[in-house]
Amino acid sequence: MIVVLIRSILLYIVVLIGLRIMGKGEIAEMNSFDLVITLLIAEVAAVPMENNNIPIVNGIAAVTGLVFMQIVISYLALKSRTVRVFLSGKPSILIEKGEINFKILKKERVTIDELLEQLRILGYFKISDVQYAILETDGNLSVLPSSSYNSTPACEFNHLPLSLIIDGQIINNNIKIINKDINWLFEVLNSNQIENVKDVLLLTIDENDKVDIQKKKI
What is the C-alpha to C-alpha distance for residues 218 and 210, in angstroms, rounded to an integer?
26
User: Is-above-0.85 flag for pTM?
Assistant: no
Q: Tens digits of per-residue pLDDT, 87-132?
A: 777 889 999 988 999 889 888 889 999 999 999 999 888 888 899 9
**Contacts of 103 by beta carbon, 8 Å cutoff, 6+ apart:** 217
Pick 120 or 17 by higher pLDDT: 120
Query: How many degrees, rounded to 5, is the angle at CA 151 between CA 147 and CA 156?
Result: 120
